[in-house]
Amino acid sequence: MSLSAGLSLKNTILRDSIAGVDHQLHYLAAAAIGRLAKGVLFHKWLLFMLDEQLKLDEIREIVNFLNGIGGFQLSRSWPRRLKLGWQRLISRLHGLRPPRLVRRLPPNPANLLKASMAVCAPVSLASFSTALLLIWSGFMTLSSAAWFVGAFNVILLASLMSHEAGHIAVAKSAGSPATIIYGGLRIGILHGRLGRKAEWLSLVAGSLAGLLTAGCLTGIIWLLSHQFLATFGGASLSLFHLFSLSPLYGDGRALTRLLNRQDATNAHS
C-alpha cells in the first residue's frame, strides 16, 4: 500500500494537488505517512508506527484522516486482498478497527459507473430482500416485485451518477481538478478550490441533476407499469436528492459552511 495519486509529502506538509489543500502534520504523523509513501505492507506500517512510540489513538487518527481523503492506494490482486484481510485481523487484535477503505478514481464515465455501482450494491441487495419478503408475505406479486426492484435500482444508479456528474461538470468548467472518492455507502467528488459562485453552482447542479433524473424516470416507470410501489420508490429517491442539501448530508454541510463564510464576510464589510 502507498499514498494515492495527487498526494505528496514535503517535510511536515501533506499536499493534496487535486483538492488544492496543504495539511500541516505533527512530525510523528509526517514520519508515518512518509513511510507509507514509499510503499509498505499494512502490518509493517502499523509496526513502524508502534516503534515510533505512537499511541493507538494517534494511529487511529492518522488512519481515519488518510482514509477520509482517499489517501490509501492498495494493490488489488487476489493474493493481496487475502493478505490485506489477514492484516486487518491483526489490526483488530491490536485494538484498531480499520475503517472501510475509501478510494480515489479519475473522473471519467467508466469510473463514475464503477463507483456508483459499488455504492449502490448494498442498497440494491436490501431492495431485493424487501421484495422477497413482500412476496412471501403475500403483499406483492412476482410481477410487481420485478417492477419494484428493477425500477428502484435503475433510478438509484442513474440519479446517483447524474448527481455526481453535476459536481464534476461544474468543477471542470471552473478549471479545477477533480477526483471521484468512494467507499462503503459514501460517494463524492473531491475538487480544488472554487470561487463562491462556482461552489453555489456545484451544490445546486448536483442535487438538481439527481432530482430531475429520478423524477423523469419515475414518471416513465408510472406510465409503463402503473405500479404504485415502483413509483413510490422512485419518488422517494427524488426526495433524497432534494434533501441532500440539508445539513445531514455532504452537500448540505458544504452549503452550511458556504453560508457561514458569507455571513462572516458580510459582518466584516
What SS3 string covers the chain?
A: CEECCCEEEECCEEEECCCCEEEECCHHHHHHHHHHHCCCCHHHHHHHHHHCCCCHHHHHHHHHHHHHCCCEECCCCHHHHHHHHHHHHHHHHCCCCCCCCCEEECCCHHHHHHHHHHHHHHHHHHHHHHHHHHHHHCCCCHHHHHHHHHHHHHHHHHHHHHHHHHHHHHHHHCCCCEEEEEECCEEEEEECCCCHHHHHHHHHHHHHHHHHHHHHHHHHHHHHHCCHHHHHHHHHHHHHHHHCCCCCCHHHHHHHHHHHHHHHHHHHC
pLDDT digits (tens, 9 = 90+) for 156-213: 999 999 999 999 998 888 888 888 988 878 888 888 777 778 888 888 888 889 989 9
pLDDT at 269 over 80: no
Mean pLDDT value across residues 95-117: 82
pLDDT digits (tens, 9 = 90+) for 29-76: 899 999 988 888 877 888 889 888 888 888 888 888 888 888 888 766
The reported pLDDT for the residue numbered 268 is 38
Mean pLDDT value across residues 111-138: 90
More confident residue, 91 or 148: 148
**Predicted structure pTM score:** 0.77
> What are the domain boundaries of the chain?
2-101, 104-268
The reported pLDDT for the residue numbered 247 is 67
